[in-house]
Chains A and B, each alone.
Chain A
């Protein structure tokens, strides 16, 4: 039996809209439908999709916050909404956009309270806290009230808080949103260590393809409420969507640039768009362009989730 089992899951919302002065019409929105997947213990899975695709709705059902309209759902052998508090002991949840910590309390007090309500054995708690404080660099922040922490600091605090009770599964909803590059890198490193050393199963939703590249062997893409792809990242990136774009501003207008390793997609006055495979270094291409043309400016764009999904449909 898998740790997470989802079979034909469906979730319908009734949306009431005002139509006319007194009348209200109710319409049904299928946020999630016909969704099936299984996740085994120790996997790191990226759960991606455009805004409104049903990612958060799925996480809410997996944690028991939301009752499914129909379908089969088991997490660690439990029906999440029926056994919500029992399940809570075995999972950790981090909502990127809002904190689960107590806003007015110092981190230390929040952690201490979590120790009590999760009934974490004292020696386990001391051990875990020491480890997370070191790995997440929380030492100087323990006595600061949560509301005074920066976004990145708060996120680290939230992640430590979600892990103090040794959960089997960690759900991360947009964990790197709004973080700077260095914070993102350290957070990813921490999550890899956690998975490797403790075998914690990770399910993360994200908009950042680099999160997925750094962390996940497996990706589930959800769109319009249903899974449109489930497999390794390499398979998802085979097509065009995984190409990067080099935007070049020339000093003068010129015909389409021709360099090895890149294809010119678009020319608009002095500006040209060149695409090249994501796994290839940009440096030789930039050098080649600079050698033959007068450059005013250039920039490189990473592919984003939307590109990957568009590409998925175009295959």
Chain B
């Protein structure tokens, strides 16, 4: 047990050292940091403004009120935001392959995944967390909080971050094969975020099933939020799914490790 724990402690320490340096670099230009941060907060915030404007003409969307949608929006936004802040740089694998910086990383005594994720760590990505956290906090005032609900909410945000983390890494790994595939990854990460900003009742059942069993984005907010809001599942899916978010998160971690290793092995065996 000692070895893996030690490896993880090292990885975290290395990650923090690299990220801290980029934070210092970003804060060296405070004006640029703040305009960029406010800019990205405004852009992500527009999503919710659009939903809010919609509710001037409608009372419910897919059977859900504005506060309920705020909860869904906030939950998926927090999951994506945390993953994006911590490891969003992973989508630049293709750049590193093209520019040869990946070779430089490979001759350093730090896990390659840690280096790729921590590279150019951008504190301005906190903006998305702040903005979606605000919406989540507002929506949470409408929730009838109990101890189990608090626990499920925490579990939801943690599992959601892990799920987005995995999707970022898995789809970014495609760039080991074709270095132009970064947009493809965005379709699943940022795209997945956009889909889950709405109650899944607006989509056909087939899509909901896919988002449960294929690309488990429904676990990022939909199932746990049904529990927080005390609602029945409109599609009659089993009730235990509301507590099951850690299961797809853990499974995806396994898939991620596999895909990452295959990607690196492909690189070291082709050296393209």
Identify the A interface with B (CB < 8 A): 13-14, 57, 60, 63-67, 81, 84-86, 88-89, 91, 93, 95, 98-100, 102, 104-105, 109, 112-113, 116-118
Contact = CB atoms under 8 A, between A and B. Distances in A.
B107 A63 contact: yes
Instruction: Give me the 6 closest cross-chain CB pairs, A-B, nearest first.
Output: A100-B104, A88-B109, A116-B17, A89-B109, A93-B107, A66-B271
B22 to A, nearest CB: 8
Contacts of A84: 106-107
A224 to B, nearest CB: 18
A67 B268 contact: yes
B109 A57 contact: no
Interface of B: 13-14, 17-18, 21, 24-25, 99-101, 103-104, 106-111, 265, 268-271
A50 to B, nearest CB: 20
Contacts of B108: 85, 88, 117-118
Contact of B103 (A85, A95, A104, A116): A95
Contacts of A112: 21
B138 to A, nearest CB: 37
Contact of A117 (B14, B25, B100, B269): B14
7 contacts: A13-B271, A60-B271, A88-B106, A95-B103, A99-B104, A109-B24, A116-B17
State the main secondary structure of chain A at its contact with B. Answer: mixed
Given A93-B107, A95-B104, A113 B17 contact: yes
A109 B20 CA distance: 11
A67 B106 contact: no
A98 B102 CA distance: 11
A242 B103 CA distance: 35
B271 A113 contact: no
Most chain A beta carbons < 10 A, residue from B13, B108, B110, B268: B108
Nearest to A56: B271
Nearest to A103: B101
Given A81-B268, A105-B21, A117-B17, A64 B109 contact: no
B1 to A, nearest CB: 20
Contact of A104 (B25, B99, B104, B270): B25
B103 A60 contact: yes
B25 A65 contact: no
Contacts of A98: 99-101, 104
Contacts of A89: 109
A14 B269 CA distance: 10
